[in-house]
Amino acid sequence: MSTFCLEHFPDDSSIADTTDLLRRIPPWHFIRDDNLGVVRPSSAAFEDDADGDPMSVYLSTLLVANHRESASVLVGHTGYALASITAGLARQKNQTVCPAPLPEEASHSVVCGDKRSGGRNSAKKVFAHSARWVIPPSDGFVQR
């Protein structure tokens, strides 16, 4: 794990490995993988933000605790889908999972660490292949 992440976004061990981390996936990141016979998120969907902030996710446990549906994080985002990876998988790929609540979204958290290097075992590729659809993409939004 990088020193930057350990200092600024330390891992919160109270978040269990089994916790689902939800990530909004825009329609431009749906990909038809003929080798697997599925539509999945592209690895480009699991990169850090353009401003250098770590990748944003939403803690499913906090949504449940607040009696909210997962779909609530997609409100106002037509055509988007919702994918999830587990906190355990993020940690396996040398990432920290750190709560970063926003005024409008208490479940907001970040996944910090290098996501590019490692070729087929890079964090972003592993996340893209392991992600589970919580709300799958609509057919009309998947590229032919």
Partner 1 sequence: MVEAVLEYRQIEEAYGDAKEKHLWLKARERFTSETHARPDRDRYRNAWLKRFKARRNVRESANCKELHRKRRPVKAASQNFPHGLIVAVQRMIELLELPPGWNSYNARPISKENVKFALSLLGQAMRADTPAPTVIPMVRGGVQLEWHTGGINLEISIYSPHEASFFAENLRSGGDSIEGEPNLALLRPWIDRLSR
Residues of this chain that bind partner 1 (CB under 8 A): 24, 26, 28-29, 31-36, 42-45, 47-51, 53, 56, 77, 80, 116, 119-120, 125, 143
Spatial separation of the C-alpha atoms in residues 7 and 18, rounded to whole Å: 24
* Token pair 């825009």: residue: 26
Nearest distance from residue 82's CB to partner 1, in Å?
11
Nearer to partner 1, 8 or 108 (CB): 108
* Token pair 């996936």: residue: 25
Nearer to partner 1, 65 or 102 (CB): 102
* Token pair 């794990």: residue: 1
Nearest distance from residue 35's CB to partner 1, in Å?
5
What are the structure tokens assigned to 96, written together? 């920290």
Spatial separation of the C-alpha atoms in residues 138 and 65, rounded to whole Å: 28
Nearer to partner 1, 53 or 69 (CB): 53
